[in-house]
Amino acid sequence: MNKRTLIQSALALALATSFSAGVLAQDKPLKVGVTAGPHAKIFEQVKKIAEKDGLKIQIVEFSDYIQPNAALAAGDLDANSYQHKPFLDLQVKDRGYKIVSVGYTVNFPIGLYSKKVKSLAELKEGARFGIPNDPTNGGRVLLVLQDKGLIKLKPEAGLKATPLDVIENPKKLRFVELEAAQLARSLDDLDASAVNTNFALSAGLNPKDAIAQESAKSPYVNILAVREADKDKPWVAKLVKAYHSDEIRKYIQTEFKGSVLAGF
């Protein structure tokens, strides 16, 4: 009987320890990387909704587009919300990250801004035009400029177009490649610049004041990303559910008044 009691006690202790560890694991908040501005604001609301479903979230803000994926791949984050699918695809190809998209978030139609002209037609020959220096967003801006009739790209360039793919440039625009986060702050030194909406809002720019804007029909809807090994875990489904709630859709519509669009 003593031996049986000892075995039962050991099993009970093991179960209790396992249960305790599970509770502690759930109590540890998920770290979600975002860029400052709309992504951070939206996730503050997602955090509140997720907590009702037992999901605790710690928001980690970044000021650039490179570090959130590096931190996610390294295990310093559990998820991130700041990028569109073409950007992630390029990062995966170039850096070998095991990161996947698990849901759409929002769309930021990229805007073209200037403190010197009020329309693209007013740009003078040789104007200095700022574009993001990461290949995906840089190509995105060049496609916008082509759509607006300022340049023509090689037909095969596609979403990854670079200034080297420009085959017609009547205004002889000079492209200045800078980090996306720096473009809004560089408007004084440029004739015009493309600025991602999240960085435009952070810099106090009003998207309604853009001299031109990307078409709403765009492949650049932003995504929620996690490590491939985590994509089927229950917390991922809860996180996506919280983001895709009616409360978040309404918040986006009310808070950003059309400058940020729900992509889900």
The model's pLDDT over 165-188, given as tens digits with 9 standing for 90+, comes to: 999 999 999 999 999 999 999 999
In one-letter notation, the amino acid at residue 172 is K
Q: Which residues contact 249 (CB under 8 A, 6 or more apart)?
A: 262, 264
The model's pLDDT over 205-232, given as tens digits with 9 standing for 90+, comes to: 998 899 999 876 778 899 999 999 999 9
Cα 26–32–37 angle (5° rounding)?
A: 145
pLDDT at 92: 97
pLDDT at 218: 78
User: What is the C-alpha to C-alpha distance for residues 106 and 76, in angstroms, rounded to an integer?
Assistant: 24
Q: Where are the alpha helices (DSSP H) in the chain?
A: 2-27, 38-52, 67-74, 85-95, 135-147, 197-202, 234-243, 246-256
pLDDT at 139: 93
Closest to 35 (Cα-Cα) out of 179, 245, 213 = 179
pLDDT at 136: 84
Contact 143, 153 (CB under 8 A): yes
Q: Which residues of the chain have pLDDT under 50?
A: 1, 3, 5-7, 9-25
CA distances from 203 to 61, 78, 198 (A): 16, 28, 9
Contact 30, 56 (CB under 8 A): yes
pLDDT at 258: 81
User: What pTM does this model have?
Assistant: 0.70
Task: Give the length of the chain.
Answer: 264
pLDDT at 109: 84
pLDDT at 14: 46
Percent of the chain with pLDDT over 70: 89
Which domains does the chain possess?
A: 28-108+220-262 (3.40.190.10), 111-213 (3.40.190.10)
SS (H, E, C) 62-127: ECCCCHHHHHHHHCCCCEEEEEEHHHHHHHHHHHCCCEEEEEECEECCCEEECCCCCCHHHCCCCC
**Strand ranges of the sheet holding 174-178, from the earlier edge strand across to the other edge:** 174-178, 128-132, 192-195, 111-113, 212-213
